[in-house]
Amino acid sequence: MHDRKRTPALTAMALALCALAAGNVLGEQPYRERYPDAKIDPAKGVEGDVGFSDTIQYWRTEADLERNAGLADKPAEQWKLNWKHMDLDRIDLHPGHLAVDEGAALVKKLAARDPAFLTCLGEGSAEIKGKAAAYPKFDVALGRILTVEGRIEQCAKSVLGEDLPQGKPPNTKISVYFKSLSAGVPTKVDIGNTKVMEAYRRGEQSFYVRTGQLNMACASCHVPGSIMGHKLRGETPTTPFGDTAHYPTYRTPVGALESLQERFARCHNQMRTQPLKPGDPAYTDLEVFMTVLTNGYPISVPSAR
């Protein structure tokens, strides 16, 4: 008798608690407009561009780029090269190449203070060749996602007690050097890792959510049916696939090296959205999303754009 009375009361109380908890969670989610989901399949990596912008046929390989080099001189079609034709200019004069040497010198100097700096970068080995292609990755010991720039910052801090903040020249130069040692190695973010995929899904949300005074999302310019492929004042937005391979890059219009997350911040300024600092967890998740869309495409650092 007592049991029968208590059970509905308990159930009601449990339901009320659930509702309260749900209310709290929902209360933290403000109303946001979103750009329609382009339904990208992370398992396809860079090949997800097939049936998306369909421009990968022009820039998939160097042979494709050579064959379609003529598009570079056609204003309406140049965007189809996804600016990958810039990677064929293997001249060693632009400041991206200088950054490789400067980054190498910085690593040498820091490793001279404590060799553990290099073995931290190499995750237990002084050999860092080829390892940058697997970033961003989930670091089990630290319990968080690290980008190449995040790893550099973390190793400098933990081994040397030195601040090498992400988005600042010393960190970016070391990143250029680190990634140049993976030039030609296909990007291989581990999408089999649950934590990586959780970050991917958060980054995906950020890609579609409209932000800022102009009420635009990344997707407003970078999915089929959006501004992608159309003129936006003097520029033509391109596909997001394959884009992370050449970062950090030397940006000729800015006259400086630029990491991927600094580029996010510059995009946000153009979108009249409050930019975040490089290394911000939301930018790191967006980098995970973007880099999975480059999986399978070779790293191309140093580079210029």
Partner 1 sequence: MKRTLRMLAAVLMGLTFAGTAGAQGAAAPQTQKAPPDYSAFPCLSYTQPCGKVATRPPVSKALDGPLNGNAEKGKQLAQARNRGNCLACHVIPGGSQPGTRGLDLSHFGSSGRSDAEAYAMVWDMRTINPETLMPPFGTNEILNEQELRDVVAYLLSFR
Q: What does the binding site for partner 1 look like in residue numbers (CB under 8 A)?
A: 28, 30-33, 36, 69, 72, 85-86, 88-89, 91, 93-95, 206, 209-216, 220, 226-227, 230-234, 250-256, 268-269, 272-276, 280-283, 286, 304
In 3-state terms, what secondary structure has residue 66? helix
Q: Based on CB atoms, which residue is closest to partner 1, 45 or 302?
A: 302
Nearest approach, Cβ of residue 121 and partner 1 (Å): 27
Strand ranges (E), 154-199: none
Q: Based on CB atoms, which residue is closest to partner 1, 181 or 220?
A: 220
Q: Based on CB atoms, which residue is closest to partner 1, 110 or 228?
A: 228
Q: Based on CB atoms, which residue is closest to partner 1, 3 or 73?
A: 73
Return the closest-CA partner of residue 36 out of 267, 209, 214: 209
Q: For residue 208, how many C-alpha atoms fall within 13 Å in the half-sphere facing its CB? A: 14
Nearest approach, Cβ of residue 32 and partner 1 (Å): 5
Cα distance between residue 254 and residue 305, in whole Å: 10
Nearest approach, Cβ of residue 269 and partner 1 (Å): 7
Q: Based on CB atoms, which residue is closest to partner 1, 158 or 252?
A: 252
Q: Based on CB atoms, which residue is closest to partner 1, 85 or 188?
A: 85
C-alpha distances in Å from residue 259, one per residue of 115, 207, 214, 233, 304: 26, 18, 24, 24, 12
Nearest approach, Cβ of residue 28 and partner 1 (Å): 7
Cα distance between residue 141 and residue 113, in whole Å: 24
Nearest approach, Cβ of residue 281 and partner 1 (Å): 6
Q: At what angle do helices 260-270 and 281-292 cross, to 10 degrees?
A: 110
**At which residue do the structure tokens 């064959």 appear?**
67
Angle at 210 between CA 208 and CA 211, to 5 degrees: 130
Nearest approach, Cβ of residue 30 and partner 1 (Å): 4
